[in-house]
Amino acid sequence: MVFIKLLFCVVLHLSLTTAAVVRNAPVNSLRSVCYGDLGCFIPRPGSKILPESPEKVNTRFFLYTRNNPTEAQEISASDLDSFDPTKPIKLIIHGFNDKATSEWVIDMATELLKSEDMNVIAVDWSGGNQFPYEQAVANTVMAAAVIRQLLQEMINMGVQPQQIHLIGHSLGAHISSYVGRGLPNLGRISGLDPAGPDFYQSEIPDRLDASDALFVDIIHTDGAPNMISGFGYLGVLGHVDFYPNGGSAQPTCASTTGGMLSQSFWELISTANVTNAVSKVSCNHMSAIYYYTDSINTRSPALAYPCSDYKTFVEGQCTSCGPNGNQCQQAGYHASPNGTLGTLYFMTLNGIELPHFGFHFKVTLESDTNNEKQARGIFKVKFNDLQEEITLFDQNELFKRDSSNSKTILATNNPMPLRKISISFRKTYDTNFGIGFADKWSFRSVTVLDMQSDISYTFCPSSNSLSMIKTGSNITYQLCA
Ligand SMILES: [Ca+2]
C-alpha cells in the first residue's frame, strides 16, 4: 500500500513540469493544532497528519461576474466590497496539484456567467495541494475552514445558505463536504469525480455525502475501487450519482484504462514523455469537469436514466423518461432535487471536441428466419440522410436466426422525425469452434425508440428479396407499411 501511494504521489508530482526531483516536504504530525478564528484541527481518521497553516495553504478567492467575466477580482472574508449578495453564488474548487487559473476553471466560470447573472468564485488552495498527497488530503480541512469563513461572512451580509453552490473536483469535492458539514442548509454541492485515494474507507463525516448540502450531485468518470485502476470514488456519494459511460472509463480516453496500470502510461514514462503520460492517466478523472461544463449551456437534451447498472442500460433495458419525462434527470449542472434521484446513467459522444452530450436511442434488430444459423460482426446504423454512422454492435455480439438484439446508442444530432435508416454489416469471424458465421444477414424489422420522447418507429426492408445485408455493404429500411 505504501508503495502504491508513493507511486501515486510520484505520478501526480510528475505533472509539475518544473520539478525534476521529488521534494521531501515536511509532514506535520502533531496531535492537534489551532489557528485563531479558524479553530483547532486534528488529523483525519486513519491519518496522523495535521493540516498545514492557513498561510501555507493560502486559500484565495477570485470573483468573476458579468461585469468582470475575464479578469477576476480577488476577494476575502474581510474584503467583500465588490461582491453582490443578491445574486447566486457558485464556488469552483480544484483538486490535487491544480490551481484556480487552470483553463477548465476559467471555462466553467465563463459558461456559468453565460447562463445566468451570478457570482462565480474560483477558489485557489494551490499552496497546500502539492506532494505528498497525504498532506494535500489533510489540507482539505484547512481550505474548507477558510472557505466556510468567507461564506459565513456572506451569510452575515444577508445571503441565504440555499443560494450557495459549491462545485468541487477530486479533492475539491471533499473540501466541499467539509464546508457543508459546518454550514447548515448549504444549497448544493456538485462533486466532479470526487477523489478516491484516502477516501475509500472514510466515514460520512470525512467524505462527501448527501448530508453535506440540501442537494448533492455527483459525476463519476474515473471511479475505481483502488488508486491503481482510477483516481475517483466509485461508490454512491450524493442524492444523485451520475455514471456517464458506466463511470469508470470515458470514450475520449480510450487509450488508457485510467489509473497507473495503463500500458500506455508506462510506455510514455519510459520515453520520458511525462506530461503526456500524466494527461493520459488523468483523462478519465478530468472528464467529469468537461461534461459538467458542457452541460451548463448544452443544446442537447443531456438526459440521464435510472438503471440498475450500466450494462443493463447499454442493453436497452432502461429507456423510458415516462410520459412527462419526469422519470429521467438532467445530467450535470441542470440536475434537480425534484428530478429522479439515485444512480443514473448516460452516454457521451466519443469526440475530443464538444459536444459531449447527444441523443439516446434504443435500437432493436429482429433477425429473420431465412438467415443462416448465426452471425458475428460489426453492425452500424445511419439515421435519415445524416452522415454519422453509429456502431450498434462490435464483433463480440452474436446474432442468431429468428431472435432479437437490442442496444442503446447515442447520436450527435437529433434525427427526428425518422423517415428511414440504413444498417451496415461487416463480418469479423469466419468460424468459432468449427461453427461457421454467415457472410450476409437479414433483419425482418428494426425498431428505433427515441429515448428523449419515448416515441418508437419500426422499419422494414423495402422488399423481402432485398433484405440481405452482405458483409461490407448496407441496406436501407423504410417505415413499415
Ligand atoms: Ca460528509
Domain coordinates in residue numbering, the chain: 2-346, 359-479
Distance 231 CA to ligand 1 centre (A): 19
Distance 240 CA to ligand 1 centre (A): 15
Does the active-site annotation cover 285?
yes
Distance 242 CA to ligand 1 centre (A): 18
Mean of pLDDT values over 449-459: 94
Marked catalytic residue, from 285, 356, 360, 424 = 285
Mean of pLDDT values over 74-89: 95
pLDDT above 90 (res 139): yes
pLDDT above 90 (res 23): no
Distance 260 CA to ligand 1 centre (A): 28
Query: Which pLDDT belongs to residue 431?
Result: 73
pLDDT in tens, 143-184: 999 999 999 999 999 999 999 999 999 999 999 999 999 899
Instruction: Pick the closest to residue 422 from 363, 371, 369 (CA basis).
Output: 363
Distance 182 CA to ligand 1 centre (A): 10
Query: Which pLDDT belongs to residue 2?
Result: 33
Cα angle 22, 25, 27 (rounded to 5 degrees) comes to: 140
Distance 179 CA to ligand 1 centre (A): 9
Tell me which CATH code domain 359-479 carries: 2.60.60.20
Query: Which pLDDT belongs to residue 327?
Result: 86
Query: Which pLDDT belongs to residue 278?
Result: 57
Place of cell 473540501: 175
User: Could you tell me which residue, 15 or 189, shows the higher pLDDT?
Assistant: 189
Distance 237 CA to ligand 1 centre (A): 9
Distance 293 CA to ligand 1 centre (A): 24
Q: What DSSP string runs through 229-269?
A: T-SEE-S--SSEEEEETTSS--GGGTT--STT--HHHHHHH
DSSP strand pairing (303-306 vs 359-367): unpaired
Phi-psi category of residue 270: left, alpha or beta, with phi > 0 → left and psi -120 to 50 → alpha: alpha
Q: How far apart are CA 178 and CA 194, in angstroms?
A: 13
Which residues, listed in sequence order, are joined to residue 352 by a DSSP beta bridge? none
E strand or H helix that includes residue 5: helix 2-13
Phi-psi category of residue 371: left, alpha or beta, with phi > 0 → left and psi -120 to 50 → alpha: beta
Query: Which pLDDT belongs to residue 28?
Result: 55
Distance 445 CA to ligand 1 centre (A): 51
Does the active-site annotation cover 222?
no
pLDDT above 50 (res 474): yes
**pTM score:** 0.90
Mean pLDDT of the chain: 88
Does the active-site annotation cover 220?
no
Distance 213 CA to ligand 1 centre (A): 9
Out of 2.40.50.1020, 3.40.50.1820, 3.40.190.10, 3.30.2130.30, which CATH number does the structure's domain 2-346 have?
Answer: 3.40.50.1820
Marked catalytic residue, from 102, 170, 287, 467 = 170
Distance 96 CA to ligand 1 centre (A): 19
The three three-digit cell numbers of residue 330, written as one number: 438532467
pLDDT above 80 (res 13): no
Distance 208 CA to ligand 1 centre (A): 4
Mean of pLDDT values over 298-302: 90
Helix (H, G, I), strand (E, B) or coil at 54: helix
Query: Which pLDDT belongs to residue 11?
Result: 45
pLDDT in tens, 346-395: 999 987 778 999 999 999 999 999 999 999 999 999 999 999 999 999 88
Distance 176 CA to ligand 1 centre (A): 9
Query: Which pLDDT belongs to residue 109?
Result: 98
Whether 359-479 and 2-346 are alike in CATH topology: the answer is no
Helix (H, G, I), strand (E, B) or coil at 204: helix
Query: Which pLDDT belongs to residue 10?
Result: 43
Pair 331, 346: CB distance under 8 Å: yes
| Residue 267 CB partners (closer than 8 Å, separation 6+) | none
Query: Which pLDDT belongs to residue 25?
Result: 43
pLDDT above 70 (res 7): no
Radius of gyration of the chain (CA): 25
Q: Grade residue 274 by pLDDT with cuts at 50, 70 and 90.
A: low
Mean of pLDDT values over 63-89: 95
Distance 166 CA to ligand 1 centre (A): 14
Per-residue DSSP letter, 195: B
| Residue 192 CB partners (closer than 8 Å, separation 6+) | 167, 168, 169, 170, 172, 173, 218, 219, 221, 288, 289, 292
Query: Which pLDDT belongs to residue 87?
Result: 96
Distance 124 CA to ligand 1 centre (A): 21
Distance 174 CA to ligand 1 centre (A): 8
Mean of pLDDT values over 200-222: 95
Q: Grade residue 39 by pLDDT with cuts at 50, 70 and 90.
A: very high
E strand or H helix that includes residue 446: strand 440-450
The three three-digit cell numbers of residue 352, written as one number: 475530443
Marked catalytic residue, from 98, 124, 193, 209 = 193
